[in-house]
Structures are given as C-alpha cells and as structure tokens.
Homo-oligomer: A and B are copies of this chain.
Amino acid sequence: MTVWDRPEPPTRPAPLDRERIVAAAIALADEGGLEAVSLRKVAARLDAGPMRLYGYISTKEELFDLMVDEVHAEILPEEEPGDWREALHVLAHRTRQAALRHEWLADLLGGRPALGPNALAVTEATLAALDGVADLDTVMRAVETVSAYFTGAIRREIAHLRAERATGLSEREWQRASGPHVMRMLATGRFPALAKVVHDGTDVDAEASFATGLDWVLDAVAAKLARPPA
C-alpha cells in the first residue's frame, strides 16, 4: 500500500464554536430575514451537517437567543453616560440603530427575556446609570417604561419599513394611491378622523418621530424621578 494508493485523508472538519455558528446565522438573517435562517442553511455555511449544530445548541430557539445576545454587544454603549437621561436616550437609539442594521431583531425584541451575558451587561450599565436617582421600584418602572416604548416603536418602524419596501411606495402615498382597500374604507365615510389624517397628515421622518416620542417619555420619567412616588 504505497502513498499513491492511499487517498488523501478527508480534510478534518473545520472547527466550530458558538461564535461562528451565531455569526453564520446572523449573516443569513441579515440577508434574508429570520425565515431564511434554518439549521440546515446555517450548517451548510460552515461546511457541516445540520446535526453538528446540536452539540452547541439544543434547539433553534436557543440559536435565536444567541443571536439576540450577540446584537446586544453592539448595543452596549462604549462610554459612560453623563447622567441617567443620557443613558436611557443612548440605549434607545443604539437599540434602534441595531434594529436598522439587523431588521430581524424587531421580530425577536421583547419576545423572550434576554438573559445572555451581553444583554445582562446592557441591563447592568443601564441600572448603574440610574442607581441612586430614586428608590429601586421607581428606577425599575422607569427602565421598563422606556424600554417598552422603544421596543414598541422600533417594531412599528420596521413593520412600516417593510410594508413600504413591499409596495415600493411611502406609506402615505401607498394609502392614497395604491392601497385600494384602505381607500375604499375611507370612501365609505365611516372613518372621518382617519380620513383627515390620511388627507392632511404630513410624512414625518421616522427617526425624528422616534426621538420625539422618546423625549416625551423621558420627560415623564424625569417628572417622576424628581418627585418620588406619593
């Protein structure tokens, strides 16, 4: 049995780790949305069989959890905030930016408790910035209220963005020109207030409206922090 007879040994499988798996999944999701992420396709990107992944994750949901946590690394601000308000402001905007980079994040945001190390680090940084400005319960209420706002706002923004992209029109144009269903509804006269909005409303910049709503909520929080709960 000379060398010439022996086939070259099969290239050892490329080493795997969660990091590479998550990176592949995120790449897939960035390109084709969450539904483009299948264990088979993720594995294929890594020149592996689908079952190989089950050594690193035990369910597809866990993969999603890892993806969400990975993005939280992008969300974590790199420098200390000046005060609590800046901290919450920056957190909201960085989350939004991350969602614009990774639109699938909108589908996952708030869908499950985020307990990965990066998500915990983000929470820690936020709580640290609010430490001492009020009693614990008030601080929690503040953080949760603000995150509820930006979670919901981001979800809606991405949903509208997708709808626009699907029709190729801005939403208001679409409502007016290409949304025959909505137009028919408005034409019935059963929705006068809505009709006024569609007719007279101005298209507002998504980021501006996000920022404005956020400021309102932050104002509300400021008011509560100033005067501790009755």
A: residues with CB less than 8 A from B are 107, 109-113, 115, 117, 120-121, 123-124, 127-128, 131, 136-137, 140-141, 144-145, 147-153, 155-156, 159-160, 162-163, 171, 179, 181-182, 185, 190-194, 196-197, 200-202, 204, 209, 212-213, 216-217, 219-221, 223-224
- Tell me if B120 and A185 are in contact (CB < 8 A): yes
Assuming the contacts A124-B191, A193-B128, A220-B219, asked whether A209 and B152 have C-beta atoms less than 8 A apart, the reply is no
CA gap between A3 and B144 in the complex, in Å: 73
Judge whether B153 and A148 touch: CB under 8 Å: yes
| Known pairs A115-B181, A136-B201 / 9 extra A-B pairs, C-beta < 8 Å | A110-B159, A111-B155, A113-B159, A123-B194, A144-B153, A148-B150, A148-B156, A151-B155, A220-B220
CB atoms of B127 and A193 under 8 A apart: yes
Report how far A149 CA is from B123 CA in the complex, Å: 19
Asked if B163 contacts A156 (CB within 8 A), the reply is: no
- B residues within 8 A CB of A131? 193, 196
How many of these chains are in the complex? 2
A interface: dominant SS: helix
For the complex of A and B, list the 6 residue pairs with the smallest distance between their C-beta atoms, beginning with the closest: A152-B152, A220-B220, A151-B152, A148-B152, A127-B193, A145-B213
In the complex, the answer to whether A136 meets B196 with C-beta atoms within 8 Å is: yes
CB-based contact A219/B209 at 8 Å: no
Residues in B whose Cβ lies below 8 Å from that of A152: 110, 147-153, 155
Closest-CB distance, A73 to chain B (whole angstroms): 15
Choose from B149, B151, B156, B212 the contact partner of A217 (Cβ within 8 Å).
B149
A180 CB → nearest B CB, Å: 11
Q: Indicate if the CB atoms of A185 and B150 lie closer than 8 Å.
A: no
Contact assessment for B191 and A120 in the assembled complex, using a CB-CB cutoff below 8 Å: yes
Q: Within the complex, what minimum Cβ distance (angstroms) separates A223 from chain B?
A: 7
A121, A153, A193, A201 — which one has the most chain B CB atoms within 10 A of its CB?
A: A193
> With a CB–CB cut-off of 8 A, which chain B residues contact A115?
179, 181-182
